[in-house]
A and B are shown apart, each in its own frame.
Chain A
Amino acid sequence: QSVLTQPPSASGTPGQRVTISCSGSSSNIGSNTVNWYQQLPGTAPKLLIYSNNQRPSGVPDRFSGSKSGTSASLAISGLQSEDEADYYCAAWDDSLNGFAVFGGGTQLTVL
């Protein structure tokens, strides 16, 4: 049972816009920024979005992130076949000494 809640699956057709939600609580998303990771099959995760809505160098601007209260979302516009992957949200939780929490992951299928 993950601390952050994501839908297990999402899908869209090429060119479409897809959003993936991530729900947490006041001790994690409500207090800290959200990061998003993309994991292609058989590979290590890749940082997609940090600090709620910042893209690392090299990440296309088709990917965008937002946060409101204790929830966050990742939007992918102009969906492409290579976007088919697992997506994870993450945040720090202020409980105890501070620890990182991940969502359970959303498997995105490009139809």
Chain B
Amino acid sequence: QVQLVQSGAEVKKPGASVKVSCKASGYTFTGYYMHWVRQAPGQGLEWMGWINPNSGGTNYAQKFQGRVTMTRDTSISTAYMELSRLRSDDTAVYYCARDRRQFSGYDSIDYWGQGTLVTVSS
């Protein structure tokens, strides 16, 4: 069965960076784009971007351009999302989530990780 297992909660100071990992299993990692979506406390969902695990190509939401970097390590079926220059309003649960359609980053999202809480506080 498809599983996305994320790294644990993080506490960071403003200005620091955070890197969240997402280990995939139960399917061919390179066949499905991986999205990153975040949710601030009590707020809605916000798409951050995706990575094509096959090519390493990325598509970032304009809001995060210059601050976010999505990478992957195909040898261990793991995707990463690094967010730099953290601010207090980056406090949120960060989800990795798989695109439903093979070789597409523009369908829906069918599997989600459990989420990683990132807290930014001085």
Q: A residues touching B (Cβ–Cβ < 8 Å)?
A: 2, 32, 35, 37, 39, 44-47, 50-51, 56, 88, 90, 92, 96-105
For B, the interface residue count at a CB cutoff of 8 angstroms equals 22
B34: shortest Cβ distance to chain A, in Å?
13
New A-B pairs, 11, CB < 8 Å, besides A47-B109, A101-B47, A102-B45: A39-B45, A44-B112, A45-B109, A45-B112, A50-B100, A56-B110, A92-B106, A99-B47, A99-B59, A99-B61, A100-B35
- CB of B115 closer than 8 Å to a CB of A: yes
17 contacts between A and B (CB under 8 A): A2-B44, A32-B106, A37-B45, A44-B95, A47-B108, A50-B107, A51-B107, A51-B108, A56-B100, A88-B44, A88-B45, A97-B59, A98-B106, A100-B61, A102-B45, A102-B47, A103-B44
